[in-house]
Amino acid sequence: MQQQTPNSISIEHTTAQGYRNLNRFSVAPMLDWTDRHCRYFHRLLSKNTLLYTEMVTTGAIIYGKGDYLAFSEQEQPVALQLGGSDPIALAQCAKLAEQRGYNEINLNVGCPSDRVQNGRFGACLMADAQLVADCIKAMQDVVSIPVTVKTRIGIDEQDSYQFLCDFIDTVSIKGGCEMFIIHARKAWLSGLSPKENREIPPLDYPRVYQLKRDFPHLTMAINGGIKTLEEAQEHLQYLDGVMVGREAYQNPSILTAVDNQLFDNQLPVVDAVEAVRQMFPYIEKELSQGAYLGHITRHMLGIFQGIPGARQWRRYLSENAHKKGADLAVVEHALALVTRGE
């Protein structure tokens, strides 16, 4: 069966419009979630959605034993999110990523975890806008693809609108960054877990809207708490793009209507059952190369949310996909529970 590949979005980055088209809708980088199996499945649900890798540290890429840049061509368009604060190392990794075919390099300036802070990257970098600018410029100097920043609206007590504007001003002017993804919450660098930092600090969408008005020449996307395409359409009245995180992972059926509702109403809404069937050749190939079925199907559990048989689908896969020797027959049986509506 021929693989489904992106065909309706221009991956051209030489203009601001190119940025806006590519970043109009994206799935957020999520550690331990948006791996290559997840991205392959999400691509079958939407041709136009920009997909992000999990955050990968420069140390892992440069010194790690595995191939941390691996992805399949069928996932395109794909952006790599990097974690790091050494301009030289980031430039080295950005160059490698461009050579491998990534469409964008994104610097993580938003993750608040202790482990990330100890490595001096993530949200703590908001306190050093000049360093972020140096990092962005170092990458911009060696690649021709976009280099972008994903950040918060503030950290700890540094959460004034002026602080945010100063950060954007420095990174855009001195670093040459033209594209920012703004998580519309501030981050507490101590006292809250990463999970709590995604839920407790209040969302402030109007602040992000104002930021776009004050920096109209920059491309800006919004992230945080977005659960429906109707909400995405509302945000797109004020901003260039929308990034959805956990909702797209836990309820991936939201992606089936993205192409139709946000890009071209002539494009079809993807049938979720057919998308699962289109995963079969991929699953067989990956299993033949030593992958475990559960590592693939864990990303597919939520696809039938709200459909008769969805609970049986989740239960059967959860109970059987991790068993020794589990193969495609497990997925076929689980899918039959949905199509029969049991």
Helix (H) / strand (E) element for 54: namely strand 50-57
Q: Which residue in 93, 111, 124, 177 is the catalytic one?
A: 111
Tell me the HSE value of 189 on the side-chain side, using a 13 A CA sphere. Answer: 20
The SS3 of residue 2 is coil
Binding annotation for FMN: 29-31, 81, 150, 183, 223-225, 245-246
Q: What gap in Å lies between CA 137 and CA 130, rounded to an integer?
A: 10
Binding region: 29-31, 81, 150, 183, 223-225, 245-246
Q: Measure the CA–CA gap between 322 and 306, rounded to whole angstroms.
A: 24
C-alpha pair distances (Å), 82 with each of 92, 96, 118, 135: 11, 12, 16, 11
d(Cα 127, Cα 124) in Å, to the nearest integer?
6
Centroid of chain to Cα 187: 19
**77 cis-preceded (ω within 30 degrees of 0):** yes
- Where does residue 306 fall: left (phi above 0), alpha (psi -120 to 50 degrees), or beta otherwise? left
* Whole-angstrom distance, CA of residue 234 vs CA of residue 292: 40
Q: Is 111 tagged catalytic?
A: yes
Residue 191 backbone class (left: φ over 0; alpha: ψ -120 to 50; beta: rest): left
Instruction: Give the catalytic positions in this structure.
Output: 111
